[in-house]
Chains A and B, each alone.
Chain A
Amino acid sequence: KAGVTQTPRYLIKTRGQQVTLSCSPISGHRSVSWYQQTPGQGLQFLFEYFSETQRNKGNFPGRFSGRQFSNSRSEMNVSTLELGDSALYLCASSFRDNNSPLHFGNGTRLTVT
């Protein structure tokens, strides 16, 4: 069974640009969550999507947005990139039931110059 797939693995962007990251969940998983990992802040929750609807949102500015498609695949977008947005962006999927852990992809490493 294929795991969570994130593309691209690495990305270099310039301040002010925007970026779109993609995530394909494990087959059958309908919940997709996004996290940001930085050395200073650790792993922080961005948002969760289930059945194409945003269910939860973390404490990030509106420049961070996402969406989920009918096949459960998800994308997140960051507009007007800042240097501080350089991070590892992780996607996780689950069945969204009481005993279902989140399974993570290997992430997209975003560098903003």
Chain B
Amino acid sequence: DQQVKQNSPSLSVQEGRISILNCDYTNSMFDYFLWYKKYPAEGPTFLISISSIKDKNEDGRFTVFLNKSAKHLSLHIVPSQPGDSAVYFCAASARGTSYGKLTFGQGTILTVHP
């Protein structure tokens, strides 16, 4: 049972344009959502998070949107840069019962072309 899904295995974007990565979840107990970026041979790097009490969180070029009724979140990167090329994972947790337990999606490979 895949509780967090990233349905797009890959995304290709031109430098300077917007990258939109999507994620769906099924577990209504999830109340904290995160995005991570991962390069080969490195661990995931935390990008941005959002609590279920919010519907939007911004940090520089990164914005995460949460639609609780649709159980959907998205990550917007504006403007996209070649250095953003990596695998992006969304993750979710139910903080009340399991702070350290994240459920991850399968990842989306983002390629930003110069």
Residue positions of A touching B, CB distance < 8 A? 4, 6, 31-33, 35, 42-45, 48-50, 55-56, 58, 90, 92, 94, 96-107, 109
CA distance A45 to B44 in the complex (A): 14
Question: In the complex the two chains form, is B106's CB within 8 Å of A90's CB?
Answer: no
Residue positions of B touching A, CB distance < 8 A? 32, 34, 36, 41-46, 49, 51, 89, 91, 95, 97-107
- Mostly, the B contact residues are loop
Query: Can you show 6 pairs from A to B with CB atoms below 8 A apart?
Result: A45-B101, A48-B100, A50-B99, A55-B100, A56-B100, A90-B44
Of the listed residues A42, A48, A56, A99, the one surrounded by the most CB atoms of chain B closer than 10 A to its CB is A42
Instruction: Give min CB distance, B91 to chain A, whole Å.
Output: 8
CA distance A103 to B89 in the complex (A): 14
Question: In the complex the two chains form, is A33's CB within 8 Å of B43's CB?
Answer: no
Instruction: Give min CB distance, A22 to chain B, whole Å.
Output: 15
Question: In the complex the two chains form, is A102's CB within 8 Å of B102's CB?
Answer: yes
Closest 10 CB pairs of A and B: A48-B100, A104-B43, A33-B100, A43-B104, A106-B43, A101-B46, A56-B101, A56-B98, A96-B99, A104-B44
CB nearest neighbor in A for B103:
A45
Give chain A residues whose Cβ lies under 8 Å from the Cβ of B89: 43
Instruction: Give min CB distance, A24 to chain B, whole Å.
Output: 13
CA distance A56 to B103 in the complex (A): 13
CA distance A105 to B104 in the complex (A): 16
Give chain A residues whose Cβ lies under 8 Å from the Cβ of B101: 33, 45, 48, 56, 58
Known contacts: A45-B102, A48-B101. The answer to whether A103 contacts B95 by CB under 8 A is no
Instruction: Give min CB distance, A77 to chain B, whole Å.
Output: 18
- Partner pick for A48 among B34, B44, B45, B98, CB 8 A cutoff: B98
Known contacts: A56-B100, A96-B99. The answer to whether A105 contacts B51 by CB under 8 A is no
Question: In the complex the two chains form, is A101's CB within 8 Å of B49's CB?
Answer: yes
